[in-house]
Structure 1
Amino acid sequence: MHHIDADLPSEITRVLTDFLHHAGGAIRETEPTFGPAVDALRAFVLGGGKRLRPTFAWWGWRGAGGDPGSSEAEGVLRAVASLELIQACALIHDDVIDSSDSRRGSPTVHVAFAAQHARGRWLGSAESFGRAAAILIGDLALAWAEDMFADCGLPAPTLAAARPAWRAMRSEVLAGQYLDVHTQATGDASAEAALRVDRLKTAAYTVQRPLHLGAALGGAQQSLVDALLEFGGDLGVAFQLRDDLLGVFGDPSVTGKPAGDDLREGKRTLLLALGLAYAEQQGRDGERKVIADAVGDPRLSDSEVDDVRQALLDVGAVAEVERRIEEMTGNALASLRRAALAEPAAQRLAELAHRATRRTS
């Protein structure tokens, strides 16, 4: 087994570390005051994360016949690693949008910079400064993602073939994010709205387009791209449904966020949509009120989170989400078996599918 295949997350971190070191050097010399922002982005990118998006992209490239021992492998590695910078932008901005206090067990970027403002007793609002800094640091991540992708060292025709996937991915994740906040603002608690968000914000961005990007870098035929998009669509939604369950039932030591934060943030997930719908259908007004009152309540206590958990279990919403995860994962694996992927990509993607949707993921 080639060493990149054997330790892909470490290889992705290696090229990210190298890029961030060189990208931050020039702006530090031009404006030293910006140094803490550069440091914050570097710490955020290198401080954790599953590297899912570049991993799917890498195996898309390998499935299209990409050779990890070839002269192009290092360039491909840099190209797919740039997805982590888009992810950094999305997460930093997402934390601002959701007013989240912590991520991966540490203060979010906007909270950390607000604390810096408070410690320095600077002028104006510490919270406003923190939000502004986080927005700009997220913008920096997005700008550097483009730089890393464009300067990865691959031939221009190879990059041009992957550009449609790159463009679609960036537009789709923003559309999904907007749809997410729109459903929260309008109170759309329908299962259909929740699934639209899942398909745009997670399935397309986390699985489908990274696979598409990697396959395109490998010169894949459209038939292979279509098979990977089908696999990624089902798997991506199943992955998000698992994440929704963990957002309510997960262990904070595993998720890196306080239990019930999705409820406090008012996320309109399929789990909650089904909980409300099932409670109404069954005439269980008490359970429906418990669920409805919890969504978007920033002061929700741990005991109240426990009440929501029990209500979701009692009306059958949890069992239905589990059923859908199993069904969609099965559909994804069936699509994968139909795809003519070079090995070991098919095996690795099947393993990723199981890991991404298991109960403790």
Structure 2
Amino acid sequence: MSGESRNPHFCVLAALLLAWAGFASGGDTPTPSVPELRPPSPPVFAMPAPARARVVMVEDAAATAAYKPQPEVLRRMVDRGLTNLTGKPTPEEAWRSLVSTQDTVGIKVLSTPGRYSGTRPAVVEALVSSLLTAGHPPARVVIWDKQMLSLRQAGFEELAARQGVRVAAAVEAGYDTNEFYENAILGQLVHGDLEFELRRESLGRRSYVSRLVTSGMTKIISVTPLLNHNQTSVSGHLMSLALGSVDNTLRFTGDPGRLAVAVPEICALPILGDRVVLNVTDALLAQYYGEERTLLHYAAVLNQLWFSTDPVALDVLAVHELERQRELADMPAVKPNLALYQNASLVQIGVSDVKQIIVEWVR
């Protein structure tokens, strides 16, 4: 046994025996001092600094005219948002810091509410135009959502044709048997769900990820409107990405508690969450009532686009902005439901504490 590994209590005992021996012999040998026993110092643990999120908000009063988006202004707003978020001097360099020309970029939209209350095609077109100007191949850009019908009705097929990019839907692409989210909640399977189509199962505990996501893209950009949701307070990035990417979602919708658990866990799937490189909140309008219905009399014109790599921070800020707009309109307050976003922080998708979100304005 090496000296470094001796028992300290043995050393103390040996010193005491030597002292006793010297005293008993009556010699002049001085009594050796006994080492003072000190309790070990407690370990010092440095508390980690709270996670921070950064959001760039670009505002231009000319972004809309009578609710109609202005394409040239939106393109400038997109370029300014990208350069300010990434710290790069040009939009081209900003895009290269997010994606490579070898990536297939999937731009996730929320098309079900339509072209006025959902993700606005003009905002997506400004993003696509900027990306293509940076040299990204049009064949490697796909605009997508869950259903092709809603994409068509919202005007995204026309947009794709103008820009020479693709448009695709998660349901039509089918679902990947190897990638899924599973929990104990049984769901009523419907037409389009994988297990219903393969085995005519009526109930299932798995939500399979679309093949459009698993094999049809390598990077994801999420673009969602500033639109209320009756159960989760905002129809934001987490809801759009989670419910738009997997099947068997009826088991969650209609129950805020189930959504608060399932949505963050689905977004945390590596095949999904790890591919998200940019989130843009289309805040040209803030519709604070109506959910999937277009109710522009319950909307405020903001003329803003919000940019972040943190979808949770954007969604939380959206919840509070919708709350603020209701108050400004002297409308009944709606108690915000933040459970979903707090759970998202627990699984480390992003930051839900507004005190830890840094907002930078570009006007």
Q: TM-score, normalised by structure 1?
A: 0.26
Structure with more of its chain in strand, by fraction: 2
Structure with more of its chain in helix, by fraction: 1
